[in-house]
Each structure stands twice: as structure tokens, then as C-alpha cells.
A = this chain, B = another copy of it.
């Protein structure tokens, strides 16, 4: 059933759903058919049974351990992706009269702003729209009385990343969908962190939310039961049936990160990969990176051909080398190499080899 895989080794640069480590896929496949030799698929086992309850607890523990999250914060596994968190975070945290600042660094920030502005006095503090989001705005001031500051820490489409968080005492709400678990965080700087799993956390179908508990329950706004974080905190992410299999694969992925040395080891691993690729782009006359050097993402590198006519040739060479998911997002065109935690350095080497041979 699993034969001949080595013969067709693929280099998966997909932006999301994204690469999973080999060992994670193997364990996931086993559990999909016969979980721990119990004669049942994990997908057909009760979410209230001790097997899945253990998985859920273990997944939460791993999140806490890897990101050093203290008990002031709840760790939740929800659904609906970051797109749901755009309004759910706002509904739960903001009063209509609250002044809330958003930094606009691209498509996802823009969507977050659109949803959140219905729940607060929203101010866009800075934007890099003037240069097609090819940099991260840094020179903006935090207005007096600001209640929250919302940031998108990595911009998958444009290939930019916030290398450090602004110095402020205002609690940060961060969309970390595409770079969570790629570096340590100072949890006390945050009010809420959210991330769709399908990039650096696990497969599509589960959304990670980390929220400071004392910030909740203050809006006096009517919130449907399922949209209230407090519901899910009280029920340990099992108010209703959680997405069992995506949570399990998330656990496997976090175990893999831990086995590799944790988030600090991921920093080095991702830096090595990113440096190799950006060096190639900068040295290679056929390619150019549109992103300001200091803001270049270690997760998603965007680049273009200096001669667009070579696109077909380059894509054909990539395909031949087993390189997948290299086309840029339709909004920006060109190419994008996503180098999430699971990607091996050898895959970046395979890509730079193709780039050099053009």
C-alpha cells in the first residue's frame, strides 16, 4: 500500500494546506485505519472517550509547552479558520466604544479590519498598501487610550513578516496563522492569538486560539453560545464535537516540533532555509524578490522572474524536480516558496538547483 514512495520524493512548497513531516503522515494514516491497534479508526471513536480526551489534553499541553503559555491564558481548538476569528475575536473582546488599532499589511489584515470594524471604533494605524504590501510599516504611533492592537505577524501572500512586535503595553491581538510555532513568543504581550492550523500547526479543519481569560466577558454584547470563547473554555474545546482527526494530526505535528528541539530549533531551521533561498534569489540574475530585505518572511518567500517569458520553462523544470506548490498567489503572480517548519533544507536545495540551472 505504501510502496515506491522514495522514487517520487516531492518537495512541497504549498502555502497552505501545507507540508506535514513524513512521520506525522505515517502515524495519521495508521490512525485513520486502525488507531493504536484497537480495530477502529480514530475517526469513528467518541470524542468523549478516553482516547480522544487524552489526545485533546496532550495537544493543549504541547501548545503550552512549546510556546511557554501560562495559566492566565486559555488554549482552544475551534473551527472556521482565521476568517471566523476576524469577527469572533472582535465580538468577544471589543466594546462598541473601544478604540482599537489595526495595522494593514495585506489581504488578511484587510479582511480582519472589515469584520472587526462592526464591533469597535477601529483605526487603521498604518498600511503598506502604498507599495503593494512589499514591506511592513514600523513608524506609527500608538494613540492614547488604545484598547487593543491587531497585527498579522506573517503575510503569506506578499511574503512579509513582522520581525519584532511593536513596543507597547497595549495588548496585542495577533493573527499568526502562517508563522505560529516558527519562533518563541512573549505571551504576556498578547491579549489573543489565533491561527488556522493548515500552515504551521496541522491540517485544515482546526483553528488554534490562545486568549487571556481575564479579558473576556466584558462587552455586555449578546453572543451566540458557540461564538463565546467562554463556552469553549468551560467545556475544554468539547462543547460540541470537535474536529477529531485534524486535532490528532495537530498533536502529531507538535510532537514532531518538540522532538526536533522545539520552537527555538525551528528558528534556526527556518533561518537556514530562508537564507539559502533569498541568497539565491538575490544572486541569480533571472530572479528578483519584491520584498524589502529586512521584512522578508522566513515562512513564505515571494519572487519573480526578471524575464516573465521564462515562466513555463521554470515551472516545467520545477515539476521535473518534484517541486510542488511554487506558483505565486493570484493577486501578486510570480512565485512563492513556502518553507514552513516541516520543509527540509534538502527541498530548498532542490529548488535553488533548478533556479541556478535556468
Contacts and interface: CB of A to CB of B under 8 A. Distances in A.
Interface of A: 1-2, 4-5, 8-10, 12, 14-20, 25-26, 28-30, 32-34, 37-41, 43-47, 79-84, 86-87, 111, 114-115, 118, 196, 198, 203-206, 222, 224-227, 239-246, 249, 322, 324-325
A188 to B, nearest CB: 29
B83 A225 contact: yes
Contacts of A114: 225
23 contacts: A1-B30, A5-B34, A8-B37, A14-B45, A15-B46, A17-B43, A20-B44, A25-B33, A26-B33, A28-B33, A28-B41, A29-B30, A29-B33, A29-B41, A40-B324, A43-B203, A46-B325, A79-B80, A79-B243, A114-B225, A118-B222, A205-B245, A246-B246
Given A1-B30, A43-B20, A246 B249 contact: no
Contact of A12 (B33, B40, B79, B81): B40
Given A79-B205, A80-B80, A325-B46, A39 B10 contact: yes
A116 to B, nearest CB: 10
A10 to B, nearest CB: 4
A18 to B, nearest CB: 6
A93 to B, nearest CB: 15
A244 B204 contact: yes
Nearest to A87: B224
A39 B87 contact: no
A242 B2 CA distance: 27
A246 B86 CA distance: 23
A245 B111 CA distance: 25
Nearest to A7: B39
A17 B241 contact: yes
Contacts of A86: 224-226
B241 A198 contact: yes
Contacts of A244: 17, 198, 203-205
Given A5-B34, A30-B1, A33-B29, A44 B14 contact: yes
- Among the interface residues A38, A47, A205, which one has the most CB atoms of the partner chain B within 10 A? A205
B204 A83 contact: no
What is the oligomeric copy number?
2
A226 B79 CA distance: 12
Given A33-B26, A79-B80, A241-B196, A17 B203 contact: no
Contacts of A198: 241, 244
A40 B10 contact: yes
A44 B201 CA distance: 12
Contacts of A240: 80-83, 196
B34 A32 contact: no
B28 A43 contact: yes
A51 B34 CA distance: 26
A39 B245 contact: no
Given A14-B44, A33-B2, A79-B79, A115 B243 contact: no
Contacts of A39: 5, 8-10, 322
B115 A46 contact: no
Contacts of A9: 39
